[in-house]
Amino acid sequence: MFLTGAPEAVRDVTHRYGVFFLKKEDGSVDHTQLTTLIDADGQMRVQYLGTRFDPEEFRRDLVSLADKE
């Protein structure tokens, strides 16, 4: 999902998740590439930084969270 909204709200969410972002003059945005698994209670459980995390590890973590429901 893409994070959009009022600048104050975006800053609040990025701060809580530890994400860096910078809006550039051309309107594009540089940001931390972060994938986060959140449990059914809304708690952050696992974060994967970048785009080259192990898909099998991700699958195991995802199945583990689904099994706890």
pLDDT digits (tens, 9 = 90+) for 20-61: 888 899 989 898 888 888 888 888 899 898 888 888 999 999
Structural domain boundaries in the chain: 7-67
And the tokens for 62? 């995802």
Q: Would you say 34 and 19 are in contact if contact means Cβ atoms under 8 Å apart?
A: yes
Confidence band of 12 (pLDDT split at 50, 70, 90): very high
Tell whether pTM > 0.95.
no
Phi, psi of 55 (to 5 degrees): -60, -30
